[in-house]
């Protein structure tokens, strides 16, 4: 269970990853779903990088952020 704005969602899925080349910021768009996709919310997470991106490491970091 993942809480976003006091709403409990059942699961999440990374739907897009974007790397801004001028700032090296990586933006992950995540879709949270509840009740067999009847209720959804999308949220973006920004990570500062040096443009040398290990996406698996950042997904693990995202899991930690979401589970807080």
Name the nearest CA neighbour of 12 among 26, 21, 1, 24.
1
CA dist 47 and 24 (Å) reads 9
Q: For the chain (length 68 residues), average pLDDT per consecutive 10? A: 86 95 96 89 94 92 87
Quote the pLDDT of residue 33: 94
Quote the pLDDT of residue 67: 79
Q: Do 39 and 33 touch, CB atoms closer than 8 A?
A: yes
Domain ranges of the chain: 2-66
Quote the pLDDT of residue 4: 84
């Amino acid at each position: 269970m993942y809480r976003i704005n006091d709403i409990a969602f059942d699961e999440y899925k990374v739907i897009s990853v974007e790397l801004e080349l001028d700032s090296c910021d990586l933006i992950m768009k995540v879709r949270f779903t509840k009740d067999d996709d009847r209720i959804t919310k999308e949220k973006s997470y920004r990570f500062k990088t040096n443009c040398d991106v290990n996406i698996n490491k950042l997904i693990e970091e995202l899991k930690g952020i979401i589970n807080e």
